[in-house]
Amino acid sequence: MSTLAIRYSTLRDGFTLFGILFYIQVITFVLGLGGAASFGDINKDLEGNVANQICGLITLLVPLFFFIRNKVFLSKTFYRSNFFMLLFLLCVIASIGWSHDPMLSFKRFIAMLSMVFFAGFIAYNYSLEKITFMLGCAIGMAALIGLILAVVMPDVAFLSGGIRDGAFKGIFAEKNAGARLNAIAILLLLPMIRRRNHWALFCAFFSLVAILLAQSATGVALIVSGTISYWYFLTLIRLRVNHSPLMFLGCTLLYLLVCLFLYSNFAVLLEMAGRDPSLTDRTLIWELLGPFIDGQFLKGYGFGAFWSSPDADGFITRWGYIGNAHSGYVETLLNGGVIQLTALALMFGEALLKQYRAVTANQTAQFRASALVIIGLFAVTNYVAYVIPNYRSAEFLVFCTLALSFRHHLAVYPATSASACVWQSTAARFSQRVTQGEPPVPNQAPPSVDSVCVVIPMYNGADSIEQTLASLVGQTRLPDHVIVIDDGSTDDGPQRVRNFVAPFRLTLLQQTNEGQASARNHGIRHSQETFVAMLDADDQWHPQKLELQLALYEELSRQGRPVGLIDCYAQVNYSDGRRQLDNRRKSGRHFYDFIHANVVNGVSTALVRREVIMQLGGFDASLRYSEDRYMWTRIAEHWEVHTVPQVLLERTVNGGNMTAQPKKYYQNKIHFIEVYLARYSEMLSQQQRIDFVLGNHTDFLEAFSRRGEHDQVLGVYRRMLECSWQALIFANGKPTLRYLYARARTWRKATASTPAH
């Protein structure tokens, strides 16, 4: 009997699409259930409807099952990273206890919790790049549906009667809410619009048309202010100001001062836009609700319970039912008093701080800048509209998705026990001696699905190769095959490999000296295992490296993630006694991060599927420097890169590296730049190409400067200026300062050597 196999990723993406369509009201509209609320019918609004409740429960229970299965609630990091959002939810739960209508408050809390859990499901399963693109395109397509509806059923898509007669609302129940959401969609898509992504341009266009037809000044204001703010922060990122926390903080404070100035003159701006500067309707509502807020200032009426309380009866009898206070902050005071309002402010602050810190850490900074601007705009628009925490608003879904953060931690296993070491030494006695590059046995069993081959290029590594191999013997999960490639060594390193007794299959391959890229390719071609783990001949792994990396790969594969490379943290030990922790963390798509640096923590940290490397044709053997960065970039172009957040490598840096001998490697670096740009020039913007070239030259300029090779500093800086004038201000002007210092020293040297007349 045949069975239909469905991948987890298909189910995940299908559920995500269902939830997004539900929360942006596409499903609600198609089913003919009306908008999120019927403002003219209090009973319908308070009771809700069965179909919405069922859809809401689905978006609650599926993520809840997912989080329990992945032990999210057992992670301390989850609580630390989302502390103030969890605190806000606790305040809402507490308000049920003193609510005027506890059952109504409970139902509305469950509805809000459904949206928060669904947002968490998205944040856990997708990278920020995918989240912004996915949400922006979904909202843009909803705008397109509304525009099609305007042609087919104009009486449904446009408002009729009143001062807003003829304004476009599309599939949304309220035209201003739809306009705000379309504006947010455009801001979400800005990073992809900069890359000229056709889908982003397509969806943003329809969102813009919907805003213009809605005649919404709020929507236009959000687009203008959001785009200008994003451009401002993007300029700071281009100039690498975000690499200096103090400078970036100063520029941010300057931006906030400008915003405060504009806010103090908002009445003039509204008059220029032809709008009532007094916000008459809203201010009147807030004045009428003032006595009720003062009466329950500390605790409020309970979440969502004010409009069903006796105090609201008089207001509704005289002024009619308006659904909410038309301000997220005023509505929060009604729901939970100053306690809940304080928690809301802290939640906003936490969300802004997360994105701000991510921008300064240069973690997908362009997308983080967009998220930072959007959350800031939510904080502003929440003053004149009920946005946060409105569980009926798709804007709240966007906020929660950007505000929540997860880190996929693995269980920490104990180090190798004494009994395990005894077993390994016993196994070593029965293991076969190293083989001399034997061909694969045709009839041997195929490798297991998680088999690992460790590839070790070696050139004159006699002093360290035995320690390196010993670190493999100590692995809690032994490799299936280890291949050492002798790259034309002149010492007795190959003989030491032959004499090494190992509890795994050990192969020695030999070739003339052709470089590490060629040696790695030789070993990878000879391997048959599923995974290839890179290891240099003078590095050592911690005992749990393979076990934890394979466990992370298995976990991500179950989620349907397209993983190309698993990294880990590394402890770098320099020959002069200095120590450095390389802890760059990756979790998703990181292609554009490689423009600025090699964000993999070392060659010996990488675990890659063999088929990925073979599909890319192996390492570029023409490169004698940065060949690993080029390979990781090509992997990141098509697959995700993830990191085990633990130090699992001891890396040794001796006197033969670039820092000690920059002149030896500089021409190789120039060749790397040429190869990289030949492949990726069309994919990068002009600014990204400039950043790439200047960044690579800066590394060597600093190395030459530290060694006092001032003539070389002058030559490198001239190359940087030939690339762009931005060399003057690149890296906060440090290359320029080093150039001026080198120029002064060479001038002084020339003056001192000139004989006096």
Token couple for 61: 């229970």
CA distances from 346 to 42, 83, 341, 343, 396 (A): 32, 10, 9, 5, 16
Q: Is 215 left (phi over 0), alpha (psi -120 to 50) or beta?
A: left
Give the pLDDT score at 576.
73
Residue 656 confidence (pLDDT)? 54
* Secondary structure class of 587 (helix, strand, coil): strand
Give the count of alpha carbons within 13 A of 55, CB side only. Answer: 24
pLDDT at residue 417, rounded to an integer? 35
Q: Which two tokens stand for residue 678?
A: 């030949």
Tell me the residue length of the chain: 757
DSSP conformational letter for 513:
S
Residue 187 is predicted with a pLDDT of: 94
- How far is the C-alpha of 708 from the C-alpha of 688, rounded, in Å? 30
Rounded CA-CA distance 37/177 in Å is 12
Q: Which residues contact 352 (CB under 8 A, 6 or more apart)?
A: 372, 375, 376, 379
Please answer whether residues 81 and 406 qualify as being in contact, where contact means their C-beta atoms are separated by less than 8 angstroms.
Answer: yes
What's the distance, CA 63 to chain centroid? 20
Q: What's the token pair of residue 602?
A: 């070392």
User: What was the pLDDT predicted at 608?
Assistant: 95
Q: Is residue 489 helix, strand or coil? A: coil
State the pairing for strand pair 579-582/563-574. antiparallel
Q: Compute the distance between CA of residue 25 and CA of residue 19 in angstroms, rounded to an integer.
A: 10
Helix (H, G, I), strand (E, B) or coil at 369: helix
- The closest of 551, 586, 591, 543 to 567, measured between CA atoms, is 586
Phi-psi region of 288 (alpha: psi -120 to 50; beta: other; left: phi over 0): alpha
Contact 55, 391 (CB under 8 A): no
Residues 534 and 619 sit within 8 Å (Cβ to Cβ): no
Tell me how far apart the alpha carbons of residues 123 and 593 are, in angstroms, rounded to a whole number: 20
* Predicted local confidence at residue 175, as pLDDT: 83
Q: Give the C-alpha separation, 637 to 595, whole Å.
A: 12
The whole-model pTM stands at 0.60
pLDDT at 321: 66
- Return the H-helix or E-strand segment holding 454: strand 452-458
pLDDT, mean of each 10-residue run, the chain (757 residues): 55 90 86 49 54 88 89 83 92 91 90 94 85 92 91 84 76 86 93 87 93 87 92 86 82 89 67 56 78 87 85 72 80 90 94 86 76 92 88 90 68 33 35 41 47 93 90 92 93 91 91 90 92 93 93 87 92 82 88 87 92 90 87 91 92 64 82 88 84 89 87 90 88 88 86 63
Neighbours of 483 (CB within 10 A): 26
Cα separation of 693 and 677, whole Å? 9
Q: What is the 3-state secondary structure (H, E, C) of 198-225?
A: HHHHHHHHHHHHHHHHHCCHHHHHHHHH
What pLDDT, on a 0 to 100 scale, did the predictor assign at position 7?
59
Longest dimension (CA), the chain: 104
274: phi then psi, degrees, rounded to nearest 5: 75, 25
Q: Cα torsion for 429, 434, 439, 445, to the nearest 10°? A: 20
Distance CA 286, CA 621 (A): 70
Name residue, tokens 């032809």: 274
Query: What is the three-class DSSP state of 406?
Result: coil
pLDDT score at 657: 56
Residue 176 is predicted with a pLDDT of 85
| pLDDT of 267 | 58
pLDDT confidence of residue 6: 55
DSSP codes of every residue in 65-97: HHHHHTTGGG-HHHHHHTHHHHHHHHHHHHHHH
Give me the domains of the chain, ranges plus CATH numbers. Answer: 8-403 (no CATH), 427-439+446-654 (3.90.550.10), 664-753 (no CATH)
